[in-house]
Amino acid sequence: MNNAGVSGHGKVEDTPVEEWDRVMDINAKGVFLGSKTAIPAMRRAGGGSIINISSQLGLVGVDNSSPQYQASKGAVRLLTKATAIQYAAEGIRANSVHPGPIVTPMTEGRRGDPEVYKLTVSRIPLGRYGQPEDVAYGVLYLASDESSYVTGSELVIDGGWTAQ
């Protein structure tokens, strides 16, 4: 499972190239390197499951998140699909998970700002942030044999955010 991620700040015109590169290196290149490293071992084992953590913002844009974060998570989505297609014949599956706002240290600052919290929750049809366990159960499914016919898919765990 590739689960590294950082966010950023600002709009496109305000984003320094160095900040763009930092977020892309961690969020997108990190997934690429993790997958690249795991594939030979999975091949030797006769198959495996690669699970890449993206975001609901890898599927849809939003006005109050950085462009580099959204672009990096979109890159994870399509890298996952390319990986799934390229390695399916070898029994290696690849899927992406797209969590919405989850109670984690990464969202602590946004949850601590009453205005941002209210706006965020208003965009979630279920009306709350998700819990880490909500994502963990989805990952467990993708890691298990129960998902043996699932590859190149996007598991969205976002409280309904992208259903709108």
| CATH number of 16's domain | 3.40.50.720
**pLDDT one-digit tens code per residue, 79-138:** 999 999 999 999 999 999 999 999 999 899 889 999 999 999 999 999 999 999 999 999
Residue 88 domain flag: yes
Number of domains in the chain: 1
Beta bridge partners of 50: 94
Residue 52 is part of which domain span? 12-163
Q: Cα separation of 68 and 12, whole Å?
A: 8
Is 52 a residue whose pLDDT tops 90?
Answer: yes
Q: Cα separation of 26 and 31, whole Å?
A: 8
Distance of CA 55 to the CA centre of its chain: 4
Residue 114 domain flag: yes
Is 18 a residue whose pLDDT tops 90?
Answer: yes
| Catalytic site residue from 69, 87, 141, 149 | 69
Residue 121 domain flag: yes
**pLDDT one-digit tens code per residue, 117-129:** 999 999 999 999 9
Residue 5 domain flag: no
User: Is 87 known to be catalytic?
Assistant: no
Residue 36 domain flag: yes
Residue 7 domain flag: no
Per-residue pLDDT, averaged over 45-58, amounts to 98
Per-residue pLDDT, averaged over 151-163, amounts to 98
Which residue from 164, 159, 149, 138 is spatially nearest to 52, judged by alpha carbons? 138
Q: Supply 62's token pair.
A: 């939003």
Residue 150 domain flag: yes
Residue 67 domain flag: yes
Per-residue pLDDT, averaged over 11-32, amounts to 97
Model pTM? 0.95
Roughly what angle, to the nearest 10 degrees, separates helices 17-24 and 67-87? 40
Q: Cα separation of 98 and 77, whole Å?
A: 9
